[in-house]
């Protein structure tokens, strides 16, 4: 609704998602009683059992996350996207944390689920995930489902921010400088293009790995004191769903050229649909695909079906 009616970009909706997630999870917390009305957040005055930190990961392990993240899209596919690249990146961390075959298999299965974000900011999620996996290996009561919930909640907003930053800013600057020199036959043109784009990318990507791990570790220790992991999971879901909800409007440009009435008084069907609900066709197509996904139809068949639908629709002038 925000993207269709107010024309807000995905980044703005992601920002609103953060605010709404904070408000909703705050209101949904335990109501304040007479016994704890001094606590504005509704937490018990007596904190839950604190988990003593037991660090198992070294700087070398976190650094390895960065190096292996460079292969994030080496096995990119249109069904689970970057999942194998993410699993490949985090394997050394998992080996350090889990000693049994069963625990290792469960961890790998977690990270072979759907994952897709901007490669330039991916290490922030990897660092946070490493911290959560470390906490999971130390605490038997840790909610393993929250790991994927946080990943899914962060990957959409980070994709919007970092793709805009690098594809929309650094790439344009690098191309402008590089081509202006390359046109004159200067060898520095392509070299500067690569340097201007990749130096900030690699430095930021490296730094974000440690930022994610350090922030995730401190955050998880604070969560352990107040038992609010459920809020983190719910907040991440709200944020992720808001960003995904904006995608049909912002990324799917599907209209119909059909007209109703005589040639002199023809009215465009698309204009009628826009008056009811803007971007109704992309929204309907999204729900249709979602229906088939719930019916366990393979993604490959869905992709082929969408290609055929688009081709046939353009031939008969149903879609444009």
DSSP assignment of 66-130 equals HHHHTTTTTT-BTTTBTHHHHHHHHHHHHHHH--SHHHHHHHHHHTTS-B---GGGHHHHHHHHH
The two structure tokens encoding residue 52: 């003593």
Phi, psi of 77 (to 5 degrees): -140, 160
Closest C-alpha among 199, 198, 177 to residue 188: 177
Q: What is the DSSP letter of 256?
A: -
For residue 47, name the pLDDT band (cuts at 50, 70, 90): very low
Kindly report the CA angle at 222 between 216 and 223, in degrees rounded to 5? 85
* Total residue count of the chain as it appears in this document: 320
pLDDT at 232: 62
Task: Give the predicted TM-score (pTM) of the model.
Answer: 0.62
At residue 265, the 3 state secondary structure works out as coil
Average pLDDT, the chain: 81
CA distances from 304 to 200, 249, 297, 308, 310 (A): 38, 22, 12, 6, 10
Range of lowest pLDDT (78-87, 178-187, 231-240): 231-240
Phi, psi of 268 (to 5 degrees): -70, 130
Closest C-alpha among 61, 24, 233 to residue 148: 233
Measured CA to CA, the distance from residue 193 to residue 175 in angstroms comes to: 6
pLDDT at 86: 95
Range of lowest pLDDT (33-42, 95-104, 148-157, 244-253): 33-42
Measured CA to CA, the distance from residue 25 to residue 236 in angstroms comes to: 10
Judged against a pLDDT cut of 50, whether residue 36 lies above it is answered with: no
For residue 292, name the pLDDT band (cuts at 50, 70, 90): very high
CA distances from 92 to 53, 77, 87, 95, 290 (A): 20, 23, 10, 5, 35
CB atoms within 10 A of CB 254: 17
Calculated CA dihedral for residues 231, 234, 235, 237, nearest 10 degrees: 160
Judged against a pLDDT cut of 90, whether residue 90 lies above it is answered with: yes
For residue 107, name the pLDDT band (cuts at 50, 70, 90): very high
For residue 34, name the pLDDT band (cuts at 50, 70, 90): very low
pLDDT at 50: 46
Mean pLDDT over 249-263 rounds to 82
CA distances from 146 to 187, 231, 240, 304 (A): 50, 10, 13, 33
CB atoms within 10 A of CB 63: 14
Kindly report the CA angle at 182 between 176 and 187, in degrees rounded to 5? 125
Mean pLDDT over 254-270 rounds to 81
Judged against a pLDDT cut of 90, whether residue 67 lies above it is answered with: yes
CA distances from 158 to 99, 121, 196, 230, 233 (A): 32, 6, 21, 22, 17
pLDDT at 111: 93
Highest mean pLDDT among 23-27, 76-80, 91-95, 315-319: 91-95
pLDDT at 43: 40
């Amino acid at each position: 609704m925000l993207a269709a009616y107010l024309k807000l970009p995905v980044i703005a909706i992601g920002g609103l998602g953060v605010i709404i997630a904070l408000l909703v999870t705050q209101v949904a917390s335990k109501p304040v009683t007479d016994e704890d009305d001094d606590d504005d957040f509704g937490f018990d005055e007596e904190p839950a059992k604190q988990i003593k930190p037991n660090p198992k990961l070294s700087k070398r392990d976190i650094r390895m996350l960065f190096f292996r993240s460079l292969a994030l899209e080496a096995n990119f596919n249109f069904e689970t996207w970057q999942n194998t690249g993410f699993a490949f990146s985090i394997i050394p961390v998992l080996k350090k944390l889990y000693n049994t075959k069963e625990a290792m298999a469960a961890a790998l299965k977690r990270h072979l689920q759907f994952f897709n974000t901007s490669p330039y900011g991916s290490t922030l999620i990897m660092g946070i995930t490493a911290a959560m996996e470390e906490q999971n290996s130390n605490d038997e009561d840790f909610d393993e489902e929250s790991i994927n919930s946080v990943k899914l909640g962060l990957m959409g907003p980070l994709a919007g921010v970092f793709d805009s930053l690098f594809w929309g800013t650094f790439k344009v600057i690098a191309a402008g400088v590089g081509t202006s020199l390359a046109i004159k036959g200067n060898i520095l043109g392509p070299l500067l293009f690569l340097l201007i784009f990749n130096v900030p990318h690699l430095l930021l990507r490296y730094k974000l790995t440690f930022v994610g791990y350090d922030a995730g570790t401190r955050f998880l220790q604070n969560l352990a004191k107040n038992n609010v992991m459920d809020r983190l999971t719910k907040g991440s879901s709200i944020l992720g769903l808001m960003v995904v909800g904006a995608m049909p409007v912002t990324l799917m440009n599907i209209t119909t050229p059909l007209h109703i009435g005589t040639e002199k008084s023809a009215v465009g069907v698309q204009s009628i649909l826009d008056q009811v609900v803007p971007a109704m066709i992309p929204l309907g197509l999204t729900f249709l695909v979602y229906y088939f996904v719930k019916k366990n139809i393979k993604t490959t068949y869905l992709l082929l079906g969408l290609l055929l639908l688009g081709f046939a629709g353009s031939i008969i002038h149903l879609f444009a």
